[in-house]
Structure 1
Amino acid sequence: MKYLALKNLIFLTGIFFCCFKAGAQTMLDSTALGNLSEKDKPALLIQLAERSRINGDYMGAIAKAQQGAALALKFKNFIEATKAYTVKVSVYATTKQFILAKKASDSTLSLAQQSRKPIALAYAYYAQALFYNAIDNSEKITKYCQLALKSLGKEPEPYLSARIYYQLYMLNSRRDDVKNVNKYAIAATENALKTTDYNLLSNCYIALSVAADYNYAGTKKEVFRDSVLYYLNKAQNLYQQYPKYVARKTYSIACINSADYYLRYFPDTDQQAKANAIRYASMANEVMKGAINGEEIRASSLGILSEYARRDKNFIMAEAYLQEAYSIMVSKKVPYYYTLINVVTALSNFYEQRGNYEKALEFQKKTTEYSNKLFDEKKTLNAQKLEVQYEAEKKNNEVKLLKQREQYARQQKYLYIGIAIASLLGLIFMFRSYHFRLRYSLQREKQLHLEKQDAELQMKFEKEEQARLKAEQLLLESQQQQLQKEVMANQLQLEHKKEMLFQIKEKLSDNHQLNINKIWNEELLLDNDFEEAKFQIQQVHPEFFSLLNQRAQQKLTSLDLKLCAYLHLKMDTKKIAQLMHIEAKSVRMSRYRVKQKLGLDKEEDLNLFLQNMA
């Protein structure tokens, strides 16, 4: 079964399980609120809201954050109010309520600007980064994280710095940017070590294990492979030392990643690695029983256990683990389709390998069904993200426009003051200025009039030039067409003469007695006929032959083209036979062949077709 990958697990951890308040790790209890004054209650309410959020009680988290924000605003404590709204942004982002997340992040920024405190601005920028992380806008995530870190420059806050660096680490792990994954995982851990937030520190250790896994994949150095397990053990040790302060899901992710480590890096024959993997996968499954939103991790741990059972050829247990994983995933009101698809795919493959094709087909159909639902879910979420992003950009543009208008109003105010002063000074030179403007106006009018005349002359010249060029072009085209007509006519006559001479040569070579006078008289008669035809040939359309070739379904020979020209000139069969020195029967056969090449039906008249070609 394809279980959750290391970097995907750590990504989930970052969203759900960072405690919000750095400082002493005391047990949070709502009963403690009664012992505090209203002025001191917001800080505790925010911690309680964050604790509810981590445990999956999102409605309770929103209610406590809202109560904390209201009390903080009552005493104009904008910093605590900003923190309260940051919790709300985190909840709305986690539950994919993008519109509410955007409204809460804008409120956070507004409160921070009222406080004018760097720490409040840092929380507000971090809230903006959380919102843009929810809608997958990498550019904005980086921008607001950098702004948050810049705001913290004067007032170091290790806890918030760790969360910001952790956010940047998650962003770069999605990009597989190994250099920045290492950079930000180290920075997050260094800051987390300065706090007493053990859950945050545990997450950072898991981040370092992911960075080590990247490093090993790129270098194959065993020191990096060993570092993966080293940092995961540190995360697990924190849970053993401080079980009340490290979330169960954080610990179970460290366990499942450890099991994954042994599964990927050790051979099947290593019994110790196998025992460790099974132990860690079992611990992850056991820890997450009854936990809110723990189904994905339990399914992944069962997938690992199923894999080892399959390797041991214990197919009954392998099937049982997969079926349990399937039951866990479908029990969710809104299933996590990625893991559910992996589970049913594994079941389909398992039954196919066991020869139970009916069940294999059943789970394959479920794979298709869940894939379609996942696609629909992603499509809906993407549409919501695009809509919210559009509205966010629209609102940002409106804010920029308002700021520009405000700046313009200030500039306008200063301008009016300057104008008033300039007006007082200008009264002294009013007459001279008026005289100068009048003279300048007259000169300008005269100049415009001259420019207008020049433009009209230029336009007239261009029109005349265009008319002359057009006339020349028409003349050249007419001359070219006439030359083409004459060339075609002369070519036909030359070809006829060539044929005649060739016939005389053949007869002379065969010692035939020739009547030269008879041939001469016949040729004079044909020349007279051809001179009459020549005038008609010159009227043939210049594109006559090209149009014929375009229409022909088979290639036309030069004799075919010559015959078409004669037919177009309305010559009879006898005259065409004399001109082409062939029998009248051959002319009729050539006509039939040309008609076929042109694709004409039997009923169509070739002469009429050639006449229409012009």
Structure 2
Amino acid sequence: MQLPLKNLTGLFICLFLFFKSAEAQKIYIDSLSRLLVQKSTSNELRVNLLCKLAKANFEKNLPISFKLTDQALQVSAGLKDGKSKAMIYATLVHLYVWKKDMKNAYQSLDSAMYYARKTKDRVTLGFVWFRNGWLDLVNDENDKSIAKMFKALDFFKGENTYEYESTIYHYLASFYGYGNNPSKQQKYADLCYRTAVKSQQVDALNNAYFTIGQTFFDSFKLDTTKRKLLDSALKVYKKSLWFSKKQEGRLLVYSNTAAVALNTANTYFQYFPASYRDSAEKYVDEAIEIATKTNLQEILLNCYGLKSEYYLRDGNYEQAEKILLTGLSKIEDGVVKMPLTKSRIFQGLANIAEKKGDKGAALNYFKQYVANYKKAFDEEKINNTVKIEAQYQSEKKEQEIAYLHQQSAYTKKINVFYIISGLTGIVALLFLLISYNYKLKASVRKQELIDQQKDAAELKAQLKETEALQLKAEQALLKERQERLEKEVLAGNLQIEEKNELLELLSDKVNSESHLSLDEQIKRIVNQQKRMDKEFEEYKVDFVDANPAFFERLQEKANHTLTRLDLKYCSYMLMGLTNKEVSIRLGIEPKSVRMSRYRIKQKLGLGKEDDLNLFLQNIG
């Protein structure tokens, strides 16, 4: 790893000098509030300040953040440029996702994109595209998200928006984390760090430390023998926590700090002996303190879950149960409900109660686990439905906008035409000699207008036809996937049947009079079967590509007289196995295979001269 860990000491010296000069400043939120009430503050700047305040409060008090964005919308009502409204709605995307309201998140994104088209401000355009990509990231659509993130970077280029750029590099690094692409993860973690230093923003720097630490940790998990990587991750995590405490008055987003503290505690729990329990509990308590202050309920429950794990290790089931129940009580009044996380906690409680031997409590916890899991499942279904509907509406609106642009251009042409016609009529009254010639030209132009309308109608019909073809193609793709799964299941079933037949024939193949020992005979049979398995794997690809309706069509040709063994013979013939290979796989004589081929030809109504293999290939 070549991340800039060695330069962290120099960075902290610079930060110390930079923030020492800022010690006399007000806390960031107070500074924004003071600017907001000044009469000299323009409405455009006022909107920007309200959006920043909404971001600063979303962890601690989400309802206040929504009130601030409502105020921003009222202030922006008199602004003609779409810049301010685009920033507000892009901010609302983040707030609604935090609230787990995906429907309003997508609606806010549509509004942000609409107003972004009405401005040329590159920072605003970059921020809107960043939120667009971030929403795709939330929905696990990484490919779409990456493309939009890079588009946002293009808008930010040369605008000195280092804080936004650092955040985007953080997400790009996360795309390639968990072993997906360590070199790219390292590259974007480094860019995240460099742009954060340029921004001189506390949150950006804290986020960069989290990204670097996670990069070290992900690399360690790929090879756990490299303990230096784990030590580097812990070192960066601890510096991040130290930095957060030093700049507590200026830090806005505490979720990364809480996550770093929890990751540090979890690292001690997983990769260090029990003697490091004090260190783990220290960082868990720190994460709990931050999560409690900022309403980070997900992190809070995970903290109590980790503390419970230590008591489970000790066999102290009473304390483990008490800790989990305490965690649940902490989130009861939360704004955001988390049925999936709660279901996991109740599942853990059920396991603890079962270990205690309290079957009644275990059953009760399990019922609550099922209830919460069902609620989470129902929410997920609703969210997916909302997401699909929102995406459909978004695409539909984009098509409508494109159509309106075409209609507007067409209307302008019509207006020009009418103006010319009116002027020509006036001129015609003055120049009667050329009136006939003008009427002829007007008639031609009118016909052209009719032709244009017809072309527009045909274009609309073609659009509907294209949509129908697209739907048909999607259905065909789903059908193809289903058929491929059926093929794989069929191939697997054949292999399982062969394994079962091997076990049944094993006792018959062992010769008690052979000079070989019983173990040697069995090993010889097993080795022979392994060779056949290898050959079967070579044929399996061709067999899986066969039409899954092959057996159905074959039975129709034979008037449903083929037995299951006949069908097995036919499948081996379709895969290209010779009589000898089939006899080896089934443990019979080649002569029996030839007789079976003759019997199958009769059932299929084939003559002596007809080629059974060719017939099966045509059917398949």
Fold match by TM threshold 0.5: yes
**Shift in Å, 1:280:** 0.9
Higher relative contact order (CA 8 A, sep 6+): 1
Two-structure CA RMSD over aligned residues (Å): 3.5
Correspondence for 2:529? none
Indicate if the aligned counterparts of 2:27 and 2:249 stay in contact, CA closer than 8 A.
Answer: no
Indicate if the aligned counterparts of 2:85 and 2:115 stay in contact, CA closer than 8 A.
Answer: yes
Correspondence for 1:168? 172
Distance 1:140 1:410 in 2: 36
- TM-score, normalised via structure 1 length: 0.58
Indicate if the aligned counterparts of 1:72 and 1:81 stay in contact, CA closer than 8 A.
Answer: yes
2:105 is the counterpart of 1:104: no
**Shift in Å, 1:130:** 3.4
- Total equivalences in the alignment: 394
2:362 is the counterpart of 1:356: no
Match of 1:145 among 149, 158, 170: 149
Correspondence for 1:11? none
Distance 1:390 1:169 in 2: 30
Match of 1:89 among 89, 93, 103: 93
Correspondence for 1:285? 288
2:266 is the counterpart of 1:265: no
Distance 1:295 1:352 in 2: 27
Q: Give per-residue Cα distances to partners, 1:10-57, cap 9 Å, x unaligned.
A: xxxxxxxxxxxxx99843233553324241433322222222223232
Report the residue type matching 2:346 in the other structure. Answer: V
**Aligned pairs for 1:286-305 within 5 A:** 286-289=289-292, 291-305=293-307
SS for the counterpart of 1:54 is coil
Label 1:550 to 1:141 Cα distance change in 2 as closer, same or farther (>3 A): closer
Match of 1:306 among 283, 305, 308: 308
SS for the counterpart of 2:362 is helix
Indicate if the aligned counterparts of 1:25 and 1:196 stay in contact, CA closer than 8 A.
Answer: no
Contiguous gaps of at least 5 residues in structure 1: 1-22, 416-426, 428-548, 553-614
Report the residue type matching 2:47 in the other structure. Answer: P
Over the matched positions of the two proteins, sequence identity in percent amounts to 23
**For structure 1, which segment, 64-73 or 317-326, has the greater mean C-alpha deviation from structure 2 after superposition?**
64-73
Correspondence for 2:553? none
SS for the counterpart of 2:58 is helix
Correspondence for 2:129? 125
Indicate if the aligned counterparts of 1:209 and 1:231 stay in contact, CA closer than 8 A.
Answer: yes
Match of 2:160 among 156, 160, 182: 156
Distance 1:176 1:190 in 2: 23
Label 1:551 to 1:321 Cα distance change in 2 as closer, same or farther (>3 A): closer
Indicate if the aligned counterparts of 1:65 and 1:84 stay in contact, CA closer than 8 A.
Answer: yes
Distance 1:348 1:361 in 2: 7
Match of 2:258 among 229, 246, 252: 252
Label 1:25 to 1:125 Cα distance change in 2 as closer, same or farther (>3 A): farther
Correspondence for 1:321? 323
- TM-score, normalised via structure 2 length: 0.57
Distance 1:124 1:249 in 2: 22
Distance 1:232 1:93 in 2: 27
Correspondence for 2:338? 336
Correspondence for 1:187? 191
Match of 2:244 among 236, 239, 256: 239
Distance 1:25 1:413 in 2: 59
SS for the counterpart of 1:194 is helix
Indicate if the aligned counterparts of 2:59 and 2:295 stay in contact, CA closer than 8 A.
Answer: no
2:56 is the counterpart of 1:51: yes
Correspondence for 1:370? 372
Distance 2:263 2:69 in 1: 33
Distance 1:119 1:550 in 2: 72
Correspondence for 1:202? 206
Distance 1:78 1:402 in 2: 19
Report the residue type matching 1:184 in the other structure. Answer: Y
**Shift in Å, 1:414:** 13
Indicate if the aligned counterparts of 2:54 and 2:68 stay in contact, CA closer than 8 A.
Answer: yes
Distance 1:305 1:551 in 2: 65
Distance 2:393 2:560 in 1: 61
Indicate if the aligned counterparts of 1:165 and 1:184 stay in contact, CA closer than 8 A.
Answer: yes
Label 1:225 to 1:412 Cα distance change in 2 as closer, same or farther (>3 A): farther
Label 1:352 to 1:124 Cα distance change in 2 as closer, same or farther (>3 A): same
Distance 2:178 2:398 in 1: 27
Report the residue type matching 1:374 in the other structure. Answer: A
SS for the counterpart of 2:337 is coil
Distance 2:352 2:67 in 1: 46
SS for the counterpart of 1:193 is helix
**Shift in Å, 1:334:** 5.2
Q: Give per-residue Cα distances to partners, 1:356-389, cap 9 Å, x unaligned.
A: 2222222122222222111111111111111111
